[in-house]
Amino acid sequence: MIIIMLGAPGTGKGTVAGILQEKKGFKQISTGDIFRKNIKEQTELGKIADSYISKGNLVPDDITVELVKSVLDNEDIEKGIILDGFPRTINQAEELDKYLKSKDNKVDLVVNLTTPEKEIIERIVNRRVCSNQECKTVYNLVLNPPKVPDICDKCGSKLIQRDDDNEETVKARFENYTKQTSSLIEYYDKKGILFNAVVSKEINKLGADVARDVIEHIDNMKKR
Protein backbone atom coordinates (compact mmCIF):
# COMPACT_ATOMS: atom_id res chain seq x y z
CA MET A 1 0.00 0.00 0.00
CA ILE A 2 1.20 3.49 -0.85
CA ILE A 3 -0.04 6.32 1.37
CA ILE A 4 0.49 10.05 0.99
CA MET A 5 0.36 12.39 3.98
CA LEU A 6 -0.89 15.89 3.10
CA GLY A 7 -1.00 18.83 5.47
CA ALA A 8 0.71 22.13 6.19
CA PRO A 9 3.87 22.04 8.34
CA GLY A 10 2.88 21.38 11.94
CA THR A 11 -0.37 19.52 11.29
CA GLY A 12 1.07 16.28 12.62
CA LYS A 13 1.98 14.43 9.42
CA GLY A 14 5.13 13.03 10.99
CA THR A 15 3.30 11.86 14.10
CA VAL A 16 0.54 10.11 12.18
CA ALA A 17 3.00 8.58 9.71
CA GLY A 18 5.22 7.37 12.54
CA ILE A 19 2.33 5.56 14.22
CA LEU A 20 1.27 3.99 10.93
CA GLN A 21 4.83 2.80 10.41
CA GLU A 22 4.91 1.27 13.90
CA LYS A 23 1.46 -0.35 13.74
CA LYS A 24 1.24 -1.36 10.08
CA GLY A 25 4.88 -1.81 9.11
CA PHE A 26 4.89 0.75 6.28
CA LYS A 27 8.17 2.58 5.63
CA GLN A 28 7.91 6.32 6.35
CA ILE A 29 9.68 8.53 3.83
CA SER A 30 9.81 12.19 4.88
CA THR A 31 10.57 14.82 2.26
CA GLY A 32 11.91 17.04 5.04
CA ASP A 33 14.39 14.33 6.07
CA ILE A 34 15.47 13.92 2.45
CA PHE A 35 16.08 17.66 2.16
CA ARG A 36 17.95 17.86 5.47
CA LYS A 37 20.18 14.89 4.59
CA ASN A 38 21.13 16.40 1.24
CA ILE A 39 21.64 19.85 2.76
CA LYS A 40 23.85 18.42 5.50
CA GLU A 41 25.88 16.44 2.96
CA GLN A 42 26.06 19.53 0.73
CA THR A 43 24.98 17.69 -2.41
CA GLU A 44 24.27 19.86 -5.44
CA LEU A 45 20.52 19.31 -5.11
CA GLY A 46 20.80 19.92 -1.38
CA LYS A 47 22.45 23.31 -1.88
CA ILE A 48 19.70 24.39 -4.25
CA ALA A 49 16.98 23.14 -1.89
CA ASP A 50 18.54 25.02 1.03
CA SER A 51 18.43 28.32 -0.84
CA TYR A 52 14.63 28.04 -0.87
CA ILE A 53 13.96 26.35 2.48
CA SER A 54 16.02 28.88 4.45
CA LYS A 55 13.71 31.64 3.18
CA GLY A 56 10.52 29.74 4.00
CA ASN A 57 9.79 28.97 0.34
CA LEU A 58 8.86 25.65 -1.24
CA VAL A 59 11.57 23.88 -3.22
CA PRO A 60 10.89 23.86 -7.02
CA ASP A 61 9.13 20.78 -8.36
CA ASP A 62 11.96 19.49 -10.51
CA ILE A 63 14.43 19.51 -7.62
CA THR A 64 11.95 17.92 -5.19
CA VAL A 65 10.91 15.18 -7.65
CA GLU A 66 14.51 14.20 -8.38
CA LEU A 67 15.37 14.02 -4.68
CA VAL A 68 12.35 11.85 -3.88
CA LYS A 69 12.83 9.54 -6.86
CA SER A 70 16.47 9.02 -5.88
CA VAL A 71 15.23 7.64 -2.54
CA LEU A 72 12.31 5.62 -3.92
CA ASP A 73 14.62 3.89 -6.38
CA ASN A 74 16.30 2.26 -3.38
CA GLU A 75 13.12 1.30 -1.52
CA ASP A 76 10.97 -1.84 -1.69
CA ILE A 77 7.69 -0.13 -2.62
CA GLU A 78 5.79 -3.42 -2.52
CA LYS A 79 6.19 -3.59 1.27
CA GLY A 80 4.27 -0.34 1.64
CA ILE A 81 5.45 3.24 2.03
CA ILE A 82 4.17 6.49 3.53
CA LEU A 83 5.18 9.65 1.71
CA ASP A 84 5.27 12.47 4.26
CA GLY A 85 5.34 15.94 2.66
CA PHE A 86 5.29 14.85 -0.97
CA PRO A 87 3.74 15.62 -3.39
CA ARG A 88 2.79 19.27 -2.80
CA THR A 89 1.75 20.34 -6.28
CA ILE A 90 -0.24 18.85 -9.17
CA ASN A 91 2.93 18.56 -11.21
CA GLN A 92 4.64 16.57 -8.44
CA ALA A 93 1.55 14.35 -8.13
CA GLU A 94 1.51 13.64 -11.85
CA GLU A 95 5.23 12.86 -11.86
CA LEU A 96 4.72 10.50 -8.92
CA ASP A 97 1.84 8.76 -10.74
CA LYS A 98 4.08 8.26 -13.78
CA TYR A 99 6.89 6.90 -11.64
CA LEU A 100 4.63 4.47 -9.76
CA LYS A 101 2.97 3.33 -12.98
CA SER A 102 6.40 2.42 -14.32
CA LYS A 103 6.69 0.18 -11.24
CA ASP A 104 3.18 -1.28 -11.81
CA ASN A 105 1.94 0.51 -8.71
CA LYS A 106 -0.27 3.44 -7.65
CA VAL A 107 -1.24 5.67 -4.73
CA ASP A 108 -3.85 3.86 -2.57
CA LEU A 109 -4.71 6.46 0.07
CA VAL A 110 -4.15 10.18 0.66
CA VAL A 111 -4.53 11.43 4.24
CA ASN A 112 -5.18 15.20 4.37
CA LEU A 113 -4.60 16.83 7.77
CA THR A 114 -5.77 20.34 8.68
CA THR A 115 -5.04 22.45 11.77
CA PRO A 116 -5.79 26.12 12.65
CA GLU A 117 -2.82 28.37 11.79
CA LYS A 118 -2.37 29.66 15.36
CA GLU A 119 -2.02 26.08 16.60
CA ILE A 120 0.47 25.26 13.86
CA ILE A 121 2.72 28.16 14.91
CA GLU A 122 2.51 27.15 18.57
CA ARG A 123 3.32 23.54 17.76
CA ILE A 124 6.30 24.18 15.53
CA VAL A 125 8.10 26.73 17.72
CA ASN A 126 7.75 24.23 20.59
CA ARG A 127 8.74 21.21 18.48
CA ARG A 128 11.86 19.24 19.34
CA VAL A 129 13.24 16.28 17.38
CA CYS A 130 15.52 13.43 18.40
CA SER A 131 18.98 13.97 16.92
CA ASN A 132 19.40 10.21 16.38
CA GLN A 133 18.55 9.68 12.70
CA GLU A 134 17.56 6.08 13.42
CA CYS A 135 14.95 7.33 15.91
CA LYS A 136 13.80 10.85 14.90
CA THR A 137 11.02 10.86 17.52
CA VAL A 138 9.15 14.18 17.59
CA TYR A 139 8.18 15.95 20.82
CA ASN A 140 6.29 19.11 21.72
CA LEU A 141 7.33 21.04 24.83
CA VAL A 142 3.68 21.90 25.53
CA LEU A 143 1.61 18.96 24.23
CA ASN A 144 4.05 16.05 24.38
CA PRO A 145 7.19 16.94 26.37
CA PRO A 146 10.00 14.43 27.01
CA LYS A 147 10.22 12.95 30.51
CA VAL A 148 13.72 14.39 30.89
CA PRO A 149 14.30 17.88 29.38
CA ASP A 150 16.17 17.79 26.05
CA ILE A 151 16.52 13.98 26.14
CA CYS A 152 14.63 11.49 23.95
CA ASP A 153 12.46 9.07 25.92
CA LYS A 154 13.05 6.24 23.44
CA CYS A 155 16.80 6.24 22.80
CA GLY A 156 18.34 8.77 25.20
CA SER A 157 19.76 10.98 22.47
CA LYS A 158 19.76 14.78 22.64
CA LEU A 159 16.70 16.63 21.34
CA ILE A 160 17.22 19.49 18.93
CA GLN A 161 15.20 22.36 17.49
CA ARG A 162 15.34 22.57 13.70
CA ASP A 163 16.75 25.81 12.31
CA ASP A 164 13.55 26.54 10.36
CA ASP A 165 11.22 25.96 13.34
CA ASN A 166 10.64 29.65 14.06
CA GLU A 167 7.49 31.80 13.78
CA GLU A 168 8.56 33.89 10.78
CA THR A 169 9.52 30.90 8.66
CA VAL A 170 6.44 28.94 9.77
CA LYS A 171 4.07 31.71 8.64
CA ALA A 172 5.77 31.89 5.25
CA ARG A 173 5.64 28.12 4.83
CA PHE A 174 1.95 28.00 5.81
CA GLU A 175 1.05 30.71 3.29
CA ASN A 176 3.02 29.05 0.51
CA TYR A 177 1.54 25.65 1.31
CA THR A 178 -2.03 26.95 1.22
CA LYS A 179 -1.50 28.71 -2.12
CA GLN A 180 0.25 25.88 -3.89
CA THR A 181 -1.51 22.75 -2.66
CA SER A 182 -5.23 23.57 -2.54
CA SER A 183 -5.67 22.17 -6.05
CA LEU A 184 -3.77 19.02 -5.01
CA ILE A 185 -6.49 18.16 -2.50
CA GLU A 186 -9.08 18.39 -5.26
CA TYR A 187 -6.86 16.24 -7.51
CA TYR A 188 -6.91 13.32 -5.07
CA ASP A 189 -10.52 13.89 -4.05
CA LYS A 190 -11.56 13.31 -7.66
CA LYS A 191 -9.64 10.04 -7.60
CA GLY A 192 -11.74 8.94 -4.62
CA ILE A 193 -8.74 8.20 -2.37
CA LEU A 194 -8.80 11.27 -0.08
CA PHE A 195 -9.25 10.89 3.70
CA ASN A 196 -9.74 14.24 5.49
CA ALA A 197 -9.00 14.70 9.20
CA VAL A 198 -8.76 17.70 11.54
CA VAL A 199 -5.93 17.70 14.09
CA SER A 200 -6.67 20.28 16.77
CA LYS A 201 -6.62 20.60 20.53
CA GLU A 202 -9.78 22.70 20.21
CA ILE A 203 -11.73 19.55 19.34
CA ASN A 204 -9.51 17.33 21.51
CA LYS A 205 -8.19 15.37 18.56
CA LEU A 206 -4.44 15.05 18.13
CA GLY A 207 -2.14 13.04 15.89
CA ALA A 208 -2.47 9.77 17.80
CA ASP A 209 -6.27 9.97 17.61
CA VAL A 210 -6.22 10.60 13.87
CA ALA A 211 -3.74 7.77 13.38
CA ARG A 212 -6.23 5.35 14.95
CA ASP A 213 -8.93 6.60 12.58
CA VAL A 214 -6.63 6.12 9.59
CA ILE A 215 -5.70 2.58 10.66
CA GLU A 216 -9.39 1.72 10.96
CA HIS A 217 -9.98 3.15 7.49
CA ILE A 218 -7.10 1.11 6.03
CA ASP A 219 -8.42 -2.08 7.62
CA ASN A 220 -11.87 -1.40 6.16
CA MET A 221 -10.31 -0.80 2.74
CA LYS A 222 -8.73 -4.26 2.85
CA LYS A 223 -12.08 -5.84 3.65
CA ARG A 224 -13.72 -4.45 0.51
Examine the residue annotation and report whether 127 is marked as an active-site residue of this protein. yes
Question: What is the spatial distance between Cα 92 and Cα 85, in angstroms, rounded to a whole number?
Answer: 11
**Per-residue b or e along 178-199, where b marks 16 or more CB atoms closer than 10 Å to that residue's CB:** eeebeebeebbeeeebbbebeb
Q: Within a 10 A sphere around the Cβ of 80, how many other Cβ atoms? A: 17
Residue of 36, 123, 127, 128 with catalytic role: 127
The catalytically annotated residue of 13, 36, 123, 128 is 13
Report the Cα–Cα distance between both ends of the chain, in Å, rounded: 14
* Residues β-bridged to residue 112: 6, 196
User: CB 147: neighbour CB atoms within 10 A?
Assistant: 8
179 is catalytic: no
Q: Out of 55, 106, 162, 179, which one is annotated catalytic?
A: 162
Active-site annotation holder among 36, 88, 128, 136: 88
Known catalytic residue at 13 = yes
Instruction: Determine whether 88 is an active site residue.
Output: yes
Point out the catalytic residue in the list 123, 128, 136, 173: 173
Amino acid at 2: I
Q: Outline where DSSP puts E strands in 173-219.
A: 194-198
The catalytic residue positions are 13, 88, 127, 162, 173
